[in-house]
Structures are given as C-alpha cells and as structure tokens.
Structure 1
Amino acid sequence: MLDMLVVGGGYVGLSVALAVKQAAPHLSVEVVEAAPQDAWKKDPRASAIIAAAIRMLEVFGIWERIEPEAQPITKMIVTDSKTADPVRPVFLTFDGAVEDGRPFAYMIPNVAMVGALRDACAKAGVTIRHGLRATGLENSPAAASVTLSDGTVLSARLVVACDGVRSKLRDMAGIKTVTWDYGQSGIVTTVEHERPHEGCAEEHFLPAGPFAILPLKGNRSSLVWTERTDEANRLVSADDLVFEEELERRFGHKLGPMRAVGDRRAFPLGLTLARAFVAPRLALAGDAAHGIHPISGQGLNLGFKDVAALAQTVVDADRIGLDIGDLNVLERYQEWRRFDTFRMGVTTDVLNRLFSNDLSPIRALRDFGLGLVDRLPGLKSYFIHEAAGTGGGAERPRLLAGQPL
C-alpha cells in the first residue's frame, strides 16, 4: 500500500508529489497521469507564475534550471476601451519589485516547468505511471483504492485528485460543485513581434472580455484572448491573415507587425468551485478543486497555493505520527484553502461581469475605479503584493515564504 497516490501529472500533481517526497523521503509516493510519457514535450504554452510560487520552486531546487527560460514581468498596464477605438487609454499601471528585488511574476514555458518537475520527482524517488486514467474509487477505513484504466488497482492512505476541472475522482467521491458557463472561450497562442516588449504585460478590457498579451523570451509574447465562444471558434479556425488582422484591431501596432507562430487553441471559460476540498482519504487540488476565469491570471497560482498548504498539512501530520489520510487531518487543508479560493472565484466572476460589457455607465464607473487605484500608492502596493502572493493577512504556507517543510 502507498502512502500517497496523486492522480494527475501536471504542474500541481507533480509539485505536491515532489514537495511531500522531498520533505518526507520515507513516504511512498506515486503519480498517475493520463497523457503518454512524452506528451508534455509538445506543449507550446507558457504560464504566469507569481513570486511566491517561485520561492517554492527554489525550495524544490529547480529554479536555477528554469530561470534561463523564464521572462520576468517587470511592468503591467491595464486599459479599457471599445474594440474600434483608435487609442487605448491606460488607466492603471503596476511596476517594480515586490520582495528582494523580485518581479511580481515570471512567464515560464510549460515545457521548462514540467521537465524540471519531472526530473526532480525522479531524483526524489517518485514513481510516475503514464497513459492511465482513474476509473474507480473505493474507500475503506485504512485506505482508498483507485482502479486504473488498465485494470490495475492502487491503494493509498491518501489520494490527491489533480485530474482537472472535470475531475473524475471528485465525481466518484460524490463531491458536488458550483458551476456555470460564461459563454466565453479563451484563445491561447504565441505571437512574434518586431519590437521588444521590455518585460511589459498588457491587459486590455474589451467588450467581449479581457485581451492579455504576456512577455516571453525574445520578441515573443503569449496571448490569452477572451471572446464569445462562437467568435473564438471562428478565429481559431481562420487563416493566419484573418487572425492577425483581428489581433491588430485589438492590440494595435505598438510592438510593430505581429505574427502568430504557435498553435491556436480555444478553451471554454466558466466557474467551477468544489463544495468540499476533502473527503475520506481524498484531497482535491488545483483545477479539480477550482476553475476560475483567467481575467486575473491566478488560476494556476491558486493550484500552487493548494500544493504548499496540502504538502505542509501532510508532512506536519506525518511528523507527529498522525494518519495523513485521516479526515480530521485533511480538514486543516480545507480550512486553509477554501475561503481564499472562494474569494478569488467571486472576485474573478465579478470582474468578468463588470468588464465584459459595453454599457457606458458601467464603463465610467470601472474607469473611475481603475484611475483611483492608480493614484493611491498604498492601495496599488496592496493589490500587487496580493497578486504576487507576498501579501500579509492569512497564514502563508512555508513553501510560499521560501522555507523548507
């Protein structure tokens, strides 16, 4: 019987397995992932990783490997306008470091992150099984048993579900969700441009939804473009000329001519919040626990916060001789993470509804609010520290403060 079985081999699943195994090498930890062994090498996407999560990667000992591929986000500007407006007035800017000269976030290619996490897991002694899905879940007083798609049954004192927003393990455990669809999709791709971005990220609030362009290494940027679902599907399937014309209509020419160089994908957007994060012998983490709108860029980073809190809960319980899968132990993790997740889910929902429309009175109100924040340094500093995960308030897990477990 295993001590911990993680179902899902993305950022969150690999990170929680690594965090627990590094801090408690005597625990047996395995990861099961649905994708084939080398599928991660073909992922063209990049993700914005906040400063607090970078501290966790430093504790893991993998940041030095990732850093050469990472692009610091040194500045962010926010605009609000109509698609056809010739000028996009800037209402809010963020710049500067948050702690120890560190930028508030980095853009990191998924390939660099996942490759480093997988190698560190192998070095720590975490076994990874590829190309397998969870098809069954049964509980007993001492363990949970997961049936895999090849018929294998694995038992563990604790099962961690990191199997995405449509989590099968969550459903099999009977955990209900609060869910609704925004009628929007997020277009994700990579673009090349003539002029350097100088580490500046931009978010333009347009009537159909936020349009974000995030800096990558070189004269390249990652695009996260929200549109109504039917329009997003049209743009993804359009030829390059049409796509780039629509891109220029929304972003303009400040970086010179732009060319889409990556695969274009559209992902449906909605809100999914699990009503519980734990069940007997089971903990949810990452998208299995929460799926939010990308308007704040916090979705993946919420998952890293789950990792830090769950790993600390498990390791601390093991050190004092408690059963790491006991529901009383797991309740601490749930209490730690559920309110923050609910707060972020509500915040992104309100922001999306507030900014994804073209009503003049609402536009005037939100532009006044953005301008007010921009003119109040203390309030602006609070927001940027919260976004970077370095703010005060609730207890921060040790990993997010750069402290080992």
Structure 2
Amino acid sequence: MAVYVLFSPLFARPCNRLPSKSRQCFSRFFSSNIEPQHVVITGGGMVGTAMACALAHDPKFAKKKITLLESGPEKVFDLPPTYKNRVSTINPASVALLESFGAWSKVLQMRCQPVKRMQVWESCSDSLLTFNQPDLSLELAHVVENDVLLSSLTDSLKECPQVEVLYGTKVKNIDIPKVNDFSDKDSLVDISLESGRILRTHLLIGADGFNSVVRKTCNFPTVGWDYNQAGVVATLQLSGETENTVAWQRFLPSGPIAMLPLTNNLSSMVWSTSPSHAKELVAMSEEDFVDAVNDAFWHDDKKDPIAQNMGKSLEMFLDRIVPGGTSMRQLPPTISGVDEGSRAKFPLGLNLSSHYIRQRVALIGDAAHRIHPLAGQGVNLGFADVIGLHKVLAQAVSEGADFGSLNILLPYETERLRQIVPIAVAIDGLQKLYGTNWTPAVVLRSLGLQATNAATFIKDKLIQKASNS
C-alpha cells in the first residue's frame, strides 16, 4: 500500500501539472525553507519584548520555540549622562509584570524616578484635582526612559535560550488560515521574511505598532481619527534642586501640558498642541521656549469669570459637607532651561481595532489600541495586554490545549476590550471637553473636577483603575 501511494500517477506527474491550489499546498508542505515555531512575535518594542519575556521566563514555555521579529538593528545601550526625551509613566501593575521576569531590577540599577503625587488643574478656572496614595511615602507610578525600559527587557530576554531574536528583519508576507481552515488544527500561520526564510507558527502575536501589518493582514476594521494635534517632548531643567516627585498637568484650550519628574533638577515635558504651534515650539530659541513653558504652567490671563464664581460657590459648599475635601494647591517648579537636542514633535491620534484576535493571531499594544497621551496610560495598556494574553496561553499549555485556537484566545479579547474601550472613550471625551474655552464647557469641567477632587472614594477608584489597566 505504501509503495502504491508513493508511485501512484498523481505523484508521478510533474508538480506543475497539479491544480494550482494543490500545487501551492504541495510546495509549502515540502519546502525546505519552512521553520516550525510555537510563537512568533512581530515588533521588538517595549510591549513586544515584554511579551517574549513573559512567555520565555514561564517554565511552561521552556520547551516552546519563540521568535521575536524586529525590523531595526540590534542596539548596544550604554546609559548616557543626558536623559532621553521619550519616557513612560509605569504604573504598579506594569512594575509587577517587569519584576516577574527580572527586568525591573535592571531598571532600578540604571535610573527611574518615583511619582508620589499628581496635580491636574485648569487654565480657565481655579479647579484642580490631586492624586496620591493614602500613605504619602508610596509611589503612584515611576517615570522611566523608553530606552532604559527596552534595554532592561532586552537583557532579560537574553537569559532565555529558547528565544530567537531576528533583528533587521522585515516581513514580506503573512499567510493566515482562511475561515474554512479553522476546523483543521494543523492549519498554521506562515510568515515569509524578505531574507527568504519562512516561519510556520502556532500563534502569531502582532506587537508591530499602530500601523500594524498583522492587523491589516487580518482585515480587522478600526475606529480612529487624527486629533489635529502634535505632542512636543523635551527635557526641562528646573531652576533649583527640589524633591521632584510630583507629576504636573495643566489643561490649556490648545491641549494639555504635562511635566514628569526625572531627577531633582530635571523633568520630562509633553505638550499637546496644534501642529503649527508644535512646529514653532521646536524651532524657537531656548529662551523663548523656556518662557513659553513657564507661561503655560503659570499664566492666569484666560480665566472665565462665570466658571470662577460658580467654582468658588461649589468650593464653599463642599467645605461645609466634606471638611478637608478640597486640596491644597501646589505651585509647579519654574523652568530655567531645556536640554539641547531634546525637543521633538510627533502626531497624535486615536486608533482602536474592532478585534484583537482571530485563529492563531493576537494583537497587543498599539497594534490593538492607540490613544491620546494625556492620561499617560499608553504603554501600561500594552503591558496589561501582555499580562492578559500570557494568562490565557499559560493556562492552555497547562491543560495541553491548542494555545493558538480561537476558543483559547477569546477570553483575552473579551477582557481587554472591556478594559480598554471605556478608557479610550473617557480619554477621548476629556480631550474634546478640555479643548475649548466655551463657557458652558468650562463650567461643566471645572465643577466636575472640583466634585471629583472632594470625593475621596472616586479618586481612590480612579487611582486603582490607573494602577491596574
């Protein structure tokens, strides 16, 4: 029987006489270039590398072959004396993730700065909102340079021999099982690289940014728009040494400006404003830029008198029913200079994928969701994706299940959509609400800010949400 099959007329014919679909399957099956994998991750940024670390440091994946694809070259990171202008605010849940595979200790060996208090206030009224832990010695978050995070993650990944990192690698084509192939558990994903290599994997994880090739290949619909804003980043020099552990954010009609602590005399700034203003800020002299930043944090010339009067009335009322419910206003530090070469700008927009999974495919990070930076939650949402996806994959491996199947991945998508959609909607609403100086909107947001600040239980819920999203 075996001899008959081997020499049957079908296999005796030249391959090019097979039907085209059969010829393609035949060629793929016997291709010597195909390399079997268990998990392939596209995108070697912070979120993609964290995903690789979470899987590789899990004993359940010790015998699984994991490949991380990164289009850029491998970087040798030497901690520079100057701070980089791209930073992230890392919440406690993200710290716990990094601690689980040893990356956080590496961050601490380099540098980061704790945030123990946050003050948000309005430029059109005196309303403000403050956040801190009940124990003032505890951190709300840590500010870490993106390069420091990525270096720590990369070093942690090097401890895992079952992971192959392919730098300078670009994906040429992704062949995902069609709908009618879902019943076949052997239908895997083929990733063709420009180098000629073909990786065949049980699970493809897309961590390749908001222009995700993986998401586009899956034809996932997206909802999103350009905010017609640009974010300007810079490293600011403070006028003097201070215990710099407060994050400051002020809402201006043009967009929010935030100042995050780096050291006792340095802070990182991100200013969301119009594209034309952003261009001016990057191009102006250091003296003019410092004046513009100080003015943005300190000016009082755009106060709305109606909102001011209503705010004072509400404050008197709240003081009677919630003694001590109003917060003491702190003054932000004065800026004296800006690090040379630290100013840069980037476009801002919203982009949400309608789906995060399909058979043998999952999206994480900006590939699944891109939001406005005003809440500082971007990379934390990506790290929360890592936590959620790792959880369902680890459980599947423990049970001997096919961890790339739709049924296994579905709980990840359900849980993350429930978390991210409300956050994205709230942040988008805040961006629009604070992007105007129309008096009714100013009154609404000012009174809302004051009421929230007086309601401790609401603030505690917000802190809990921001710490674990």
TM over 0.5: yes
CA distance in 1 between counterparts of 2:172 and 2:432 reads 37
Deviates more, 1:33-42 or 1:320-329: 33-42
The aligned counterpart of 1:228 is: 274
Match of 2:108 among 62, 67, 78: 67
Which letter maps to 1:350? G
Q: In the superposition, relative to structure 1, how do residues 219 and 149 fare at CA in structure 2: closer, same or farther (>3 Å)?
A: farther
Alpha-carbon RMSD: 2.0
Pairing of 1:3-402 with structure 2 (within 5 A): 3-23=38-58, 24-38=61-75, 44-68=85-109, 69-82=111-124, 89=126, 91-96=128-133, 102-125=138-161, 126-140=163-177, 141-195=186-240, 196=242, 198-252=244-298, 254-261=332-339, 262-389=341-468
Q: In the superposition, relative to structure 1, how do residues 135 and 265 fare at CA in structure 2: closer, same or farther (>3 Å)?
A: farther
Matched position secondary structure for 1:158: strand
Q: Is the 8 A contact 2:85 2:343 kept in 1?
A: no
Matched position secondary structure for 1:169: helix
CA distance in 1 between counterparts of 2:267 and 2:409 reads 40
Q: Cα offset for 1:40?
A: 6.6
Q: Cα offset for 1:56?
A: 1.2
Which letter maps to 1:204? R
Q: Cα offset for 1:149?
A: 3.2
Q: In the superposition, relative to structure 1, how do residues 40 and 270 fare at CA in structure 2: closer, same or farther (>3 Å)?
A: farther
* Alignment: residue pair count: 384
CA distance in 1 between counterparts of 2:283 and 2:168 reads 29
Which letter maps to 1:16? M
Deviates more, 1:43-52 or 1:309-318: 43-52
CA distance in 2 between counterparts of 1:32 and 1:214 reads 32
Q: Cα offset for 1:194?
A: 2.0
The aligned counterpart of 1:400 is: none
Matched position secondary structure for 1:123: coil
Q: Is the 8 A contact 1:200 1:215 kept in 2?
A: yes
Q: What is the TM-score with the length of structure 2 in the denominator?
A: 0.78
CA distance in 2 between counterparts of 1:60 and 1:240 reads 42
Q: Cα offset for 1:258?
A: 2.6
Matched position secondary structure for 2:411: helix
Structure 1, residues 79-121: CA drift from partner, whole Å, max 9, x if none?
A: 1015xxxxx845111123589x641210012222111110111
CA distance in 2 between counterparts of 1:39 and 1:330 reads 35
Q: In the superposition, relative to structure 1, how do residues 323 and 97 fare at CA in structure 2: closer, same or farther (>3 Å)?
A: farther
CA distance in 1 between counterparts of 2:144 and 2:357 reads 30
Q: What is the TM-score with the length of structure 1 in the denominator?
A: 0.90
Matched position secondary structure for 2:159: helix
- Give identity over the alignment, percent: 31
Structure 1, residues 333-361: CA drift from partner, whole Å, max 9, x if none?
A: 11111121111111111010011111122
Structure 1, residues 190-212: CA drift from partner, whole Å, max 9, x if none?
A: 11112325300011000011111
Which letter maps to 2:140? F
Q: Is the 8 A contact 1:77 1:90 kept in 2?
A: no
- Structure 1 stretches of at least 4 aligned residues deviating more than 3 Å after TM superposition: 39-44
Gaps of 5+ in 1: 83-87, 391-405
Q: Is the 8 A contact 2:47 2:365 kept in 1?
A: yes
Q: Cα offset for 1:263?
A: 2.3
Deviates more, 1:192-201 or 1:225-234: 192-201
Q: Is the 8 A contact 2:223 2:353 kept in 1?
A: yes
Q: Is the 8 A contact 1:12 1:286 kept in 2?
A: yes
Deviates more, 1:16-25 or 1:59-68: 59-68
Gaps of 5+ in 2: 1-35, 178-185, 299-330
